[in-house]
Amino acid sequence: MIGLALPAGRLRLLCVAAHPDDVEIACGGTLLELGVRGGVRATFATLTGSPERRAEAEAAAEAFCPGAEVRSWDLPDGRLPAHWDAVKAALEELALDLADDPPQVVLSPSRDDAHQDHRLLGELVPTVWRDALVLEYEIPKWDGDLRRVTTYVPVAPEHARRKVELLTKHYPSQAGRDWWDDEVFLGLLRLRGMECRSGYAEGFTVRKLRVDLAPAG
């Protein structure tokens, strides 16, 4: 296994989520690693959520990625496929707003996710941001839909632990759910780390990737 590094310098990042907490559960370690890298300008876009949940998401975004812009919509949770036009319009509106500084990397739900809201975003995001590297993230859940991933981001042990701490701190509304568990989050980080010969890692699926080869010599 070889590693392909993102180019040095400024990185424009877009994090798309159906629900508050999706991005942090799936990509919190990656966001903390990018914070160490520096030069990241991020936008978080969440399509659903009550005012309480949106407030949680705003605080979490600042904790995981200081200075991030947060955009949110109040589409109905669990019903996004029935609002296909509104979801597509929201994404296209966002793309237009970011046109002067478009994202280079987009973190998006997987089109293979068992949750219908996640799955719809996974299908639509690549149709809106065609020139970005789209990393489809995974979210552990009751449905048992975890699949083989294609791409890994190693996460330092201190960032793996910090991710779990921040999740518990910033999403108290979810802490009582049976799937919201430190061992679940750390266990998946460790499993993906083992698969890529790292202590911890987060896994993603990449559908399309162009590799530009440097001239010989």
CATH code for the domain of 188: 3.40.50.10320
DSSP one-letter code for 139: -
State residue 217's pLDDT score.
64
The ranges of the chain with pLDDT < 70 are 216-217
CA-CA distance, 182 to 28, in Å (whole number)? 13
Taking the chain, what is the end-to-end CA distance rounded to the nearest angstrom?
Answer: 24
- How far apart CA 15 and CA 89 sit, in angstroms, is 17
Answer whether residue 80 is part of any domain: yes
* Residue 1 belongs to a domain: no
217 within domain boundaries: no
Instruction: Please tell me the distance from the alpha carbon of residue 64 to that of residue 104, in angstroms, as a whole number.
Output: 19
C-alpha span between 111 and 29 (Å, rounded): 21
Domain count, the chain: 1
